Amino acid sequence: MSDARVTFDPKNMPFRRLGPSGLRVPLFSLGSWLTLGGTVVGDPVKEIIKVAFENGINMFDTAEGYAKGRSEIEMGRVIRELGYRRSDLVPNDTGLSRKHIIEGTQESLARLGLDYVDVIFAHRPDYSTPMEEIVRAFNYVIEKGWAFYWATSEWSARDIEEAYHVADKLNLIGPIAEQCQHHMLHRERPEKEYAPLYKKYAIALASGLLTGKYNNGVPEKSRLATHPDFFKETIKNLDGEEGQEKIRKIQELTKLAETDLGCSMTQLALAWVARNPNTSTVILGASKPEQVVENLKALEVIPKLTPEILDKIEDILKNKPAPIPSFGRPSLDRFGRT
């Protein structure tokens, strides 16, 4: 065995797209022609692959003709003995490449212990992967029976339109929903940008800012406190003039919820989003069982949101997005129907 050591930080290995695909490969990979399984066998093969992997090389080239198949046998043995997962090789564990969508789906199902899920989401757009590859990959997942539908999350209206255009062109399935952030203080995208698309999409959404828990700072066990890096922009915005104005609005809404509706600010916030006819589901967050029960009381608040109450809410918010001008043209669905 050699005494080779890691001399190159694997995090510094550059990755590039393989041709026009969304597959990202390391700038340097390891070949096996004439060596692995041929002139090099046994433990030296393991040492070579191990050192290559530890130095950032995770793409290994082999072929059925190399050493009459012994190259593949040696490489497969070493991969198993080193405990490398299939997805460790040419890893694309983020983004929406065909490789990551398929491997990620398989691994998620394995972790869940399920044969399939109902909907699989493309969590954030991936501009380094062609849209055709994304749509084809999700359709492959559906054809395999690993999911019934696919959907998007925080995609722009333009991205969603492109996905549908590709799906229509290839006679494939487009996304059925968009999971976006939507609450009383975040309305522009779900209420304006997506407005022309609501004949085609349903929206799932979630938010924690409007619970009123941050009116007097960040509580010790709140999500903002326990995940400061993830919510650092939110925390930062709470301190500024704009953030204080948001808190003032939330305080007024809290008063309205308690006096006019007999509910909590959380329940009002959830009911306000749920009453939107374009909302298919509201995703709840809870760290305690009793929070689930309290959140579900929002169902009792929805019928109380009369036009008069909604007007009071708008008077406090003063942020209703202006409608997109239609210039007299009727709104058409993707089949050209009004």
Which pLDDT score, from 0 to 100, does residue 144 have? 97
The catalytic residue among 66, 194, 201, 214 is 66
Which pLDDT score, from 0 to 100, does residue 231 have? 44
**Encoded amino acid at 126, one letter:** D
**Encoded amino acid at 34, one letter:** L
Which pLDDT score, from 0 to 100, does residue 12 have? 84
Continuous segment of H or E residues that includes residue 281: strand 279-282
Q: Which of 38, 53, 88 is the last residue of a domain?
A: 88
Same domain, residue pair 105 and 47:
no
- Overall residue count recorded for the chain in this entry: 338
Which pLDDT score, from 0 to 100, does residue 224 have? 45
**Encoded amino acid at 42, one letter:** G
Continuous segment of H or E residues that includes residue 119: strand 117-123
Q: What is the pTM of this model?
A: 0.77
Same domain, residue pair 63 and 44:
yes
Tokens for 81?
């003995």
Which pLDDT score, from 0 to 100, does residue 3 have? 55
Closest by CA to 176, choosing from 133, 207, 147, is 147
Same domain, residue pair 227 and 333:
yes
| 122 phi, psi to nearest 5 deg | -85, 95
Which pLDDT score, from 0 to 100, does residue 118 have? 83
Q: CA 4: distance to chain centroid?
A: 40
Domains identified in the chain, total number = 3
> Which parts of the chain have pLDDT scores under 70?
1-7, 199-239, 285-287, 326-338
**Encoded amino acid at 274, one letter:** A
Neighbours of 174 (CB within 10 A): 22
Which pLDDT score, from 0 to 100, does residue 243 have? 77
Same domain, residue pair 278 and 237:
yes
Contact yes or no for 272/313 (Cβ under 8 A):
yes
Annotated active-site residue 149? The verdict is: no
Closest by CA to 203, choosing from 124, 296, 126, 277, is 277
Which pLDDT score, from 0 to 100, does residue 5 have? 57
Which pLDDT score, from 0 to 100, does residue 336 have? 55
Contact yes or no for 164/200 (Cβ under 8 A):
yes
**Encoded amino acid at 172, one letter:** L
Structural domain boundaries, residue 290: 207-338
